[in-house]
Structure 1
Amino acid sequence: MEQLPLWAQIGAVALLLICSGFFSISETAMMALNRHRLKHLANQGALGAKTTQGLLARTDELLSVILIGNNLFNTIIPVLTTSIALHTFGHDNLVLSIATGVVAFLIIVFAEITPKIVGATYPEKIALPASFLIAPLMRVAMPLIWFVNLFANAILRVLHINTKGGRDQRLSTEELRTIVLESGSFMPTKHRSILLNLFDLENITVDDVMIPRRRIEALDLDAPFDSILNQLETCYHNKLIVYQGDIDRVIGVLHVRKTLAALHNQELERETLRELLAEPYFVPSGTPVFQQLQYFQESRHRTALVVDEYGELQGLVTPEDILEELIGEFTTSIPRSASSRGGWNAEGECIVAGSMPLRELNRWLQLTLPTDGPKTLNGLILELLEEIPDGDVCMEITGVRLEVMRSDDQAVRTVKLFKPGARGADKGVRKLLAS
């Protein structure tokens, strides 16, 4: 090297720094690469994706060739730089110290920190092209890699470290949820909402989505026949639950349209109604909604009656109730407890029924009332108060202010909600904070 001109020796040092930087940037880019994104690129036939996949499938060999190359150049650079300094400025301890400091600075900045920052910032753009150089280098250096890994693997075995188990990168539900939340503008808001609701679906049961017992539109077969006919002609649903005397004594499900057709063709009687009844379909309380959706597919039923351990009717659930948890409320002309109103008014207030399910209320008014306990607004209020209020009561639950407007000896009937941030809810008699 001493026979070469000074500019050639400096150029050789610069070239070695570039080579060392290449291995540093490749190492960081390869390790920072999203494996799932890489798999997608490989399926799309992106240039270099399959080669990169092959390299990452052998992480131990990949790291070995990168670190061998990186350390080889980082070892040569100080020797060459020191030789240039001593030949140029003479044999002096000060020159040697300065040369060592300069070499360390050059390696840290130009061969380590800067390349690795770039590699971590643009892993995909760097890793895929770099794989075309690293792959042949790995094949050429295979004997050296095998020799080095012989000692490395022995140390790993002594430490009882299983490298194969760490390569299986499976995402949990919470990790998938985080990916969806961070998708931002890459995914439409509606699609993102459906996916997030899908993740929530595994944690809820039919009790969370069912129509409560008090809101079930049912037909009492023991009622006066004129009342039965009037209910059939004015009901909102195509199917009615039919009971006898007590709603816990369900005897069948009546198809209203078929019944009205029979009414036009012949004189309708109670026995005719009995003949038109379909067998009721009961499901136990606490059934997961995913499992219930599968039951609906297998049994061809469209209406399920939820009963508790004592056989008492708790509510009614349909496939539509489950699908609404995914995609939101269906457009319908059927009046519901609160959705028939207009939502928040100009003052940021909304009056709802105490029997309204919390999940429906959260979805409709974009609230965050807790749903891991009571299922209805009335239940939530009674749980916090530990009594049935006998007058106007105000409280605050997870940032939402409520005012009990009407109650009786059994339950809270009407509640006024104040939109978070709206004024006018400070006149309460009592305020409770939900933990």
Structure 2
Amino acid sequence: MDLFENLLIIFALIGISCFFSMSEISFAAARKMRLGLMEEEGDPRAAKVLQLQEQPGNFFTVVQIGLNAVAILGGVVGEASLTPYFQAALMDLVPAAYVDKLSFLLSFTLVTTLFILVADLMPKRVAMAIPEQVAVVLVGPMMACITLLKPVVWFINTLADGIMNLLRVPTVRNDEITSDDIYAVMNAGAEAGVLDKGEHEMMENVFEMQSIPVTAAMTSREGIVYFSTTDSFDEIKRKIGDEPHSKFLVCDGPLDNIKGFVDAKELLLRLINGETLDLTDPKVLHSCPVIPDTLNLVEAMEFFKHQRSDFGVVMNEYALVVGIVTSNDLQSAVMGTWALHDVEEQIVARDSHSWLVDGVTPITDAMRAFDITAFPESENYETVAGFVMYKLRKIPKRTDFVMHAGYKFEVVDIDAFRVDQLLVTKLDGSEKPQPLLAPAAE
């Protein structure tokens, strides 16, 4: 054969190697979600790619057979076909003793470079850039190769499976999607600019809702304005004027003895129409849904959906009211507005290294505000005050403090055994190590 025929054979082998290289990378890198969308859009080739991904053993065996066979054959053909031409070219340029060795080296270098560059690197880069598009184009020829080489594939796969089982190495890929995978995709989207900051935060809030208790979004007991069945007409008007809420609890004496709730609009209409105002009137008083304080935000949303309500009282296991929550509170939790609102009111910066923090501030808010990854054993408390009390193992007093994550949480105000306010100070690296907690001297 002349030089042209030899080069034609070499480039044919390079083309075959290119096919197997692109197939290997594209089938491995093709994303199942993208292929699923392509299948739903009417591309039957995507279904075949998914089928090969579910049972990749035969596919990878054919790829390795093809790549290794072509590489060996290319080396043999290339060395035998190109070496004579290099010998003829070098005969008058180098000493005769070095002609054969140098010709072989040049032939080997040329063929290897062509295979690495054209048959390996370039096709793999293309397949990595657009794996789904390449995979659906090559799936037909690849399935034909699998069928053609079925006996050889079966023999090699049987040997490989036996060795893998002997070594107890798993051979099935785990394709389960975890929450960490979803977070990684969202973070990658945010870094790439596909998601803006607000969308990224909202999606994170959605996934965090299962771990955030309903108490983090509620109005705490101390902030509840309610009517008593014994309140006078003037007292009711004063409360509505001072705290213009849409709904008010009605209690028979103390807050924990709830009779229901009234709608401020209905009260206003009665006042305009000159009707008598009786808080115990069934036409005005509505039954109040009760939500356990153990629910998370997702469960609270489901509760509102089933109860067809947008307002509920949060109670603990002792039937004591710990707060009230509305559907707007839960929706704001998803949008992230509730965190901004509460942080502005409950966490006030004194300077760049210290903050005054309300004792009822939810732990989740403190984590966001101070960029703290986690609080220890956080299932045992819900607020910053609860964290300090849990770590001190006693009712805190003024100047008691707890150290955590490079911050000092110091009690600065106590109101009837309740931690009303704390001073949170960020410690710089020059400060001496402190114990985890230190109660004040008696």
- What is the TM-score of this pair, normalised by structure 1? 0.77
Task: Give the secondary structure class of the aligned counterpart of 2:255.
Answer: strand
CA contact (8 A) 2:313 2:321 kept: yes
- The 8 Å contact of residues 388 and 401 in structure 2, kept in 1 or not, is answered as no
Asked if 1 retains the 8 angstrom alpha-carbon contact of 2:14 and 2:119, the reply is no
The answer to whether the Cα contact below 8 Å between 1:394 and 1:431 also exists between their aligned partners in 2 is: no
| SS class of match (2:411) | strand
For residues 88-127 of structure 1, the C-alpha deviation after alignment (integer angstroms, 9 at most, x for no partner) is 769xxx9999888878767766535885555554424366
Write the deviation string for residues 293-312 of structure 1: whole angstroms up to 9, x where unpaired. 12212221111222233322
Q: Which residue of 2 aligns with 1:357?
A: 362
Letter in 2 for 1:257: K
Structure 1 residue 382: Cα displacement:
1.7
Map of 1:111 onto structure 2: 115
Alignment partner of 1:387 is 2:394? yes
1:148 is matched with which residue?
152
Q: Distance in 1 between matches of 2:123 and 2:287?
A: 66
Q: Which amino acid aligns with 1:78?
A: G
Higher alpha-carbon deviation: 408-417 or 101-110:
101-110
> 1:72 — aligned with what?
69
- Following TM superposition, by how much is the alpha carbon of 1:53 offset from its aligned partner in structure 2, in angstroms? 4.9
Counterpart-to-counterpart distance in 1, 2:298 and 2:285: 28
Find the aligned partners of 1:417 and 1:132 in 2 and give their Cα distance.
Answer: 61
**Match runs of 1:56-95 below 5 Å:** 56-58=50-52, 59-60=56-57, 62-84=59-81
- Contact kept? 2:35, 2:50, Cα under 8 Å: no
User: What is residue 224 of structure 2 aligned with on the other side?
Assistant: 216
Q: CA deviation at 1:244?
A: 1.4
Given the superposition, is the C-alpha separation of residues 52 and 350 from structure 1 closer, same or farther in structure 2, using an over 3 Å criterion?
A: same
Instruction: Answer yes or no: is 1:412 the counterpart of 2:419.
Output: yes
Instruction: Give 1:252 shift.
Output: 0.7
Within a 5 Å distance, the mapping from 1:93-104 to structure 2 comes to none
Partner AA of 2:151 in structure 1? F
Look up the match of 1:312: 320
**Quick check: 1:237 aligned with 2:245?**
yes
Partner secondary structure for residue 309 of structure 2? coil
Could you say which residue in structure 2 is the equivalent of 1:37?
Answer: 34
Distance 1:309 1:75, change over 3 A: same
Match of 2:344 in 1: 339
* CA shift for structure 1 position 24: 2.0
Inter-partner Cα distance in structure 2 for 1:273 and 1:245: 17
Aligned equivalent of 1:277, options 285, 288, 293 = 285
Count residues with an aligned counterpart.
417
Query: 1-side partners of 2:137 and 2:324: how far apart?
Result: 62
- Distance in 1 (alpha carbons) for counterparts of 2:150 and 2:356: 74
Instruction: Give the equivalent residue in structure 1 for 2:94.
Output: none
Distance apart, 1:179 and its partner CA = 0.9
User: Where do 5+ consecutive residues of structure 2 fail to align?
Assistant: 89-97
Q: Report if the CA contact (8 A) 1:396-1:432 is conserved.
A: yes
Normalising by structure 2, we get a TM-score of: 0.76
Residues 114-167 of structure 1, C-alpha deviations (whole Å, 9 max, x = no match): 85555554424366347545624643x455222223324545775679xxx947
The 2-side partners of 1:54 and 1:228 are apart by 71
Equivalent pairs: percent with the same residue?
19
The CA deviation string for residues 24-68 of structure 1, in whole angstroms up to 9 with x for no partner, is 2331232122232344456568xxx75355245234554354334
User: 2:37, 2:60 → 1: CA distance?
Assistant: 23
Amino acid at match of 2:332: E
SS of residue paired to 1:247 = coil
Note closer, same or farther for the CA distance 1:65–1:292 as it changes in structure 2 (3 Å cut): same
Contact 1:81 1:99 in 2 (8 A): no
342-351 or 239-248, which moves further after superposition?
342-351
Partner residue in 2 for 1:189: 197
Local SS of the residue matching 2:349: coil
Q: Does 1:257 align with 2:265?
A: yes
Change (3 A) 1:111 1:372: farther
Compute the RMSD of aligned alpha carbons. 4.3
1:227 corresponds in structure 2 to 235
Cα–Cα, structure 1 residues 317 and 97, in superposed 2: closer, same or farther, change >3 Å?
farther
**Cα–Cα, structure 1 residues 373 and 322, in superposed 2: closer, same or farther, change >3 Å?**
farther
CA distance in 2, matches of 1:348, 1:393: 19
| Partner SS for 1:204 | coil
Secondary structure of the 2:412 match is strand
Give the Cα–Cα distance (whole angstroms) in 1 for the partners of residues 123 and 225 of structure 2.
64
- After alignment, is 180-189 or 147-156 more displaced? 147-156
> Structure 1 residue 180: deviation in Å?
0.8
Q: Partners in 2 of 1:337 and 1:391 — Cα distance?
A: 24
Contact persistence 1:281–1:303 (CA under 8 A) = yes
Q: What is the DSSP-based 3-state SS (H/G/I as helix, E as strand, rest coil) of the residue aligned with 1:182?
A: helix
- Aligned to 1:280, the other structure's residue is in SS state coil
Instruction: In structure 2, give the amino acid aligned to 1:176.
Output: I
Map of 1:301 onto structure 2: 309
